[in-house]
Amino acid sequence: MAPAKATNVVRLLLGSTALWLSQLGAGTVAASKSVTAHLAAKWPETPLLLEASEFMAEESNEKFWQFLETVQELAIYKQTESDYSYYNLILKKAGQFLDNLHINLLKFAFSIRAYSPAIQMFQQIAADEPPPDGCNAFVVIHKKHTCKINEIKKLLKKAASRTRPYLFKGDHKFPTNKENLPVVILYAEMGTRTFSAFHKVLSAKAQNEEILYVLRHYIQKPSSRKMYLSGYGVELAIKSTEYKALDDTQVKSKMLFSFLYPMSFFAFF
C-alpha cells in the first residue's frame, strides 16, 4: 500500500504544479503590454505626386516629362478630394504610362515613401539658393533669380557672360538635342498653377532650342504633418537602473592578492 500512496501523492503534486504554472502563464499574458514605435524623418511629409514623378524619372526621362504634362495642375484637386481619392487619381494618371506590374511597384514605393528623400534633397538645394521672398516658384538663370515670368527674357540676354550652374545627376532636364545653351532652372511644385504657367513658357523655349530647361522640386509651404517611415527596424533596449550593494573590502583584498602573488612568484625565482 505504501507504493500506491506514494504514487497518488506524486500525481497530486504534479497536478497542483501544472495548475500553478498555467495560472502563472495566464497572469503573465494578461499583464503584458505591447510597445508601438513610430519612426519619423526630420523633414515634413512630401507630396505623393512629386514622389510619383521621381518613380517615373527612374523609369526614363521621357516618361517623367510625359507624366508631368498630364498632371500640370493636378494639385488643385487635393484641396477638394480626400487623401484616398487623390491617391487613386495619381495612380490613374500614372497608369497611362505604366503596366500593372509597375503600378504595383509604385504602390509599394508609396507605402514605404521610397522617393521622399529625393524630394527633400531638391528642397534642400532650393533652400541653399535661397528662394526669393513670397514666391511660390522661381527660376535661376546663371546665378540670377526671379519669380516673374516676364523677367526671364531680360535675364537670358547676358546669361552667357555669367557662370554656368552645376547640374546634378538627379536633375530633370527637358529633352533637347543641344546642351551648350543657357541653363534655366525652375524651382516649383509640380501640379500647381504657378508651376504650369512657368512650364508652358520654359518648355516652349526649350523646344525652340533657346534654353536648357531643368526642373527641381520646390515646396514653398511644406506640410505640417510628420513624415512617418515604414519598412525600417526599431530596437527597444531596456536597461535596469537598480544598483546592488557590494562589500568593496573583499573586492580590494582580492585585487591586492592577485597583484602581489605574481610579484612574489617572480621574486622567488
Give the mean pLDDT of 23-29: 49
3-state secondary structure 167-194: CCCCCEECCCCCCCCCEEEEEECCCCHH
Is the preceding omega at residue 130 within 30 degrees of 0, hence cis? Answer: yes
Q: Which set of grid coordinates corresponds to residue 81?
A: 478630394
> Do 172 and 203 meet the contact criterion of CB atoms below 8 Å apart?
no
Q: Are strands 212-217 and 183-188 parallel, antiparallel or unpaired?
A: parallel
For the residues 257-262, what does the mean pLDDT come to?
Answer: 47
146, containing H or E segment = strand 144-146
The mean pLDDT value for 199-214 works out to 96
Q: Name the percent of the chain lying above pLDDT 70.
A: 74
Looking at residue 228, the DSSP 8-state letter turns out to be: E
- Predicted confidence band of residue 19 (pLDDT cuts 50, 70, 90): very low
Measured CA to CA, the distance from residue 80 to residue 265 in angstroms comes to 88
pLDDT number for residue 39: 79
Contacts of 81 (CB under 8 A, 6+ apart): 89
- Residue 43's Cβ-side half-sphere holds a number of Cα atoms within 13 Å equal to 17
pLDDT at 221 over 80: yes
CA–CA separation, 54 vs 44, rounded Å? Answer: 17
Q: Which stretch, 15-19, 121-125, 231-235, has highest mean pLDDT?
A: 121-125
First-to-last CA distance in the chain? 71
pLDDT tens per residue across span 184-198 = 999 999 999 999 999
Higher-confidence residue of 240 and 180: namely: 180
Cα–chain-centroid distance for residue 184? 28
Lowest mean pLDDT among 64-78, 95-109, 244-258: 244-258
As a whole number of angstroms, the distance between CA 81 and CA 69 comes to 21
pLDDT computed for residue 179 by the predictor: 84
pLDDT 10s digits, 129-182: 888 888 999 999 999 999 999 999 999 998 989 999 999 999 999 998 888 899
- The span from the CA of 228 to the CA of 219, in Å, is 18
Q: Write down the domain spans for the chain.
A: 40-226
Residue 124: the pLDDT is 95
The pLDDT, as a whole number, for residue 231 is: 67
Q: Are 168 and 121 in contact (CB under 8 A)?
A: no
Q: Give the separation between CA 209 and CA 197, rounded to whole angstroms.
A: 19
